[in-house]
């Protein structure tokens, strides 16, 4: 019984993935596999404001505090 999967064919000419390092501007280095070799990025999950939350907290800290006071909620829960 012949079973043919397209994935079997694709493995014959798979891309040439090789160990690579991604270097971020913040100094973070990620080890991965890539067809393009080593390369650098300007931002990563280590330094992105979305992940660090620093910029976001600086901007919204006052509003959150006022909101909690207005509605009488404790501020024990950190947004995030």
**What phi and psi values does residue 19 have, to the nearest 5 degrees?**
-55, 130
CA 22 to chain centre: 13
- Tokens at 4, concatenated: 């043919």
Q: Could you identify the residue written with the tokens 């509605």?
A: 71
Select the span of 2-10, 13-21, 38-46, 49-57 touching Zn ion (CB under 5 A): 38-46
- 3-22 residues in contact with Zn ion (CB under 5 A) are none
Residue 44 beta carbon to Zn ion: minimum distance, rounded to whole angstroms: 3
- HSE-CB at 67 with a 13 A cutoff on CA atoms is 8
**Given 26, 57, 64, 68, the residue binding Zn ion (CB under 5 A):** 26
Residue 76 beta carbon to Zn ion: minimum distance, rounded to whole angstroms: 31
**Given 28, 34, 57, 68, the residue binding Zn ion (CB under 5 A):** 28
Contact positions toward Zn ion, by CB under 5 A?
A: 24, 26, 28, 44, 46-47
């Amino acid at each position: 019984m012949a079973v043919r999967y397209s994935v079997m064919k694709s493995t014959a000419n798979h891309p040439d993935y090789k160990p690579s390092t991604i270097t971020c501007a913040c100094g973070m280095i990620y080890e991965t596999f890539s067809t393009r070799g080593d390369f650098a990025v300007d931002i990563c999950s280590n330094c992105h404001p979305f992940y660090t939350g620093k910029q976001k907290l600086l901007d919204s800290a006052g509003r959150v505090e006022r909101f909690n006071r207005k509605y009488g909620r404790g501020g024990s829960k950190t947004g995030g």
